[in-house]
Amino acid sequence: MIVIICPGQGSQTPGFLAPWLAEPAMATRLDELSAAAGVDLAAHGTVSDADTIRDTAIAQPLIVAAGILTLEALLDGRRDRVGGIAGHSVGEFTAAAGAGVLSGTDAVRLVAARGAAMAEAAAAAPTGMSAVIGADQDELLTRLDELGLEPANFNGGGQIVVAGELDALERLKSEPPAGARVIPLQVAGAFHTRHMAPAVDRLRNAASNVTASDPSLALWTNRDGSQVSDGATFVDLLVGQVSSPVRWDLTMESFAAQGVTGLIEVAPAGALVGLAKRALRGVPTVAIKTPDDLAAAHDLIDGKS
């Protein structure tokens, strides 16, 4: 079973869309997605610098649009050979488009509203996120309670991303759990925590204006790693996900339980196949970073690799 995985915020790098836009049809499609998002995605994907594309309101529609471009090239003529799809955090909007729950334009329109709402919520207080690697999970959760921090992403492979106020994150870094490393992340706020609660209502209002269809591919949720067969339910989960933890560890466990035989990560790819190499050892992976990587992905789908 081949599963497609869609990355979240932080996967973008300056200029990463340039190779994709060399193809006129993809450039035209990105113009359509840019109009839906109200953001010049072509400029941000080719010439904007790292600080600019780190802005939540830009990063989120940029990542989802890149994933949609990849999916449309990847799945053309091969949809029936793919076992399922899932996304990490904002990548769930990409997955929703790939599974047919949302149209591509609705997905970027919603994610633009999500990014703007989360950026506004993040500006309310100085908060951030840090990756914690190698900690005992129970010990870490106890330490987070002491500091008023929250687990935001359970990424599997011994990595948990935590979030909250910057001074508390600095205390965690200076006094980490035994054997753990704490790495500050370059993000604008404490995503997937109570600090994002104000963004939930704004996204729910935006989501009320889109039509959701039931998924045409198996689709897993970050909420608990379960498979979701109802489109409206999945959209509700997308809304709530803004202020609740991402359980990518449970999502990967579901892949394993379903007998995954290969993983393909859409652009801007790399982070999720890295996690899979630790948590799903031996499962072949392809990271699609440029159109040149599509051939390897097609070979995996077609059973040639």
The predicted-structure confidence for 208-222, as pLDDT tens digits, reads as follows 989 999 999 999 999
Q: What total number of domains does the chain contain?
A: 2
Q: Are residues 240 and 281 in the same domain?
A: yes
Structure tokens at 131: 């990756």
Report how far residue 101's alpha carbon sits from residue 2's, in angstroms, rounded to the nearest whole number. Answer: 19
The answer on pLDDT for 304 being more than 90 is no
pLDDT at 305: 66
Specify whether 162 is located in the same domain as 284: no
Tens digits of per-residue pLDDT, 138-183?
A: 999 999 999 999 999 999 988 999 999 999 999 999 999 999 999 9
Catalytic residue among 89, 130, 243, 254: 89
**Is 15 in the same domain as 111?**
yes
Q: Are 96 and 208 within one domain?
A: yes
User: Over the chain, what is the mean pLDDT?
Assistant: 95
- Indicate if 171 and 280 belong to the same structural domain: no
Q: Are 235 and 101 in contact (CB under 8 A)?
A: yes
Residue 284 is predicted with a pLDDT of 97
Mean pLDDT of 233-241: 96
Q: Which of 11, 44, 130, 192 is catalytic?
A: 192
N-term to C-term CA, the chain: 13
Average pLDDT over residues 277-289: 94
CATH number at residue 139: 3.30.70.250
13 and 148 both lie in a single domain: no
Q: Which residues of 60-96 are buried (b: 16+ CB within 10 A; e: fewer)?
A: bbbbbbbbbbbbebbbeeeeeebbbbbbbbbbbbbbb
Over the stretch 185-214, which tens digit does the pLDDT of each residue have?
Answer: 878 899 999 999 999 999 999 999 899 999
103 is catalytic: no
Looking at the structure, tell me whether residues 113 and 198 fall in a common domain. Answer: yes
**Shared domain check, 168 and 57:** no
Judged by DSSP in three states, 267 sits in coil
Mean pLDDT of 255-269: 97
- Contact indicator for 273, 297 with CB cutoff of 8 Å: no
The residue among 184, 204, 230 that closes a domain is 184
Q: Same domain, yes or no, for 174 and 205?
A: no
Q: Residue 231 is part of which domain span?
A: 2-122+193-301
Check whether residue 80 and residue 203 sit in a common domain.
yes
- Residue 287: CATH number of its domain: 3.40.366.10
- The mean pLDDT value for 121-133 works out to 93
Query: Catalytic residue at 192?
Result: yes
Query: How far from 175 is each of 17, 147, 180, CA to CA, in Å?
Result: 40, 11, 10
110 and 148 share a domain? no
Q: Residues 120-125: what's their mean pLDDT? A: 91
The answer on 80 and 162 residing in a single domain is no
Closest CA to 222 of 285, 287, 135, 154: 154
